[in-house]
Homo-oligomer: A and B are copies of this chain.
């Protein structure tokens, strides 16, 4: 139903050890969704070069866009940029504009080789500005490389989305109900069968004694969305206990 697709690669051992909870995927998914680009899968990858390179090579030809977060700082465990260079078969070289950005961000006495290494990128990469700490991300081919720190990632993402070709936007409607999933499953199936082009998701929530279900209908066709939503709402109303 989406016309454009993306994969998101969340890179960093800290996400796989339980130390850090990823906050970036939902933000990226939301932003891309608004642009009609579906995140069709996401992967959380360790700081292991072979894994990152293989994953980039496998996905780049399969989707419109590959977005990565994490691993572009100045320390030894920041290996994303070198992995992207290897994945796209380009030399890993110092980008003059990135070096200039770093030199203008830091005081001259704070410039050192570790900081300048953040300007090393695949040859031919274009920069993604970093308004927070100066060290830019970059993109090459269909791969967009962003920071892992959420405040920086968000700023970079705002820049990135302007470069992405929009797809057909997925519209959604959410119905909430106090009916239990098990009491309305047959109705959901029937409406899903009647509207195969509208994806219907059922998401129960349990907060203390409060239980409920959110039903999310999604499609690129606003007219069909309205029809399916009305049909489902009427069917749910018919299930509600009479007062």
Contact = CB atoms under 8 A, between A and B. Distances in A.
A76 B27 CA distance: 27
A16 B33 CA distance: 9
Interface stretch (A86-94, A194-202, A221-229): A194-202
A15 interface: yes
A152 B27 CA distance: 25
Interface residues of A, number: 70
A203 B51 contact: no
A20 B206 CA distance: 14
Nearest to A133: B206
A133 to B, nearest CB: 8
18 contacts: A13-B199, A16-B38, A16-B41, A17-B33, A17-B218, A18-B27, A18-B29, A18-B31, A25-B44, A41-B45, A44-B44, A73-B202, A76-B188, A77-B200, A112-B182, A112-B183, A132-B206, A133-B206
Interface of A: 12-23, 25-31, 33, 38-47, 51, 73-78, 106, 110, 112-115, 117-118, 132-133, 149, 151-152, 170, 172, 181-183, 185-186, 188-189, 192, 199-206, 216, 218
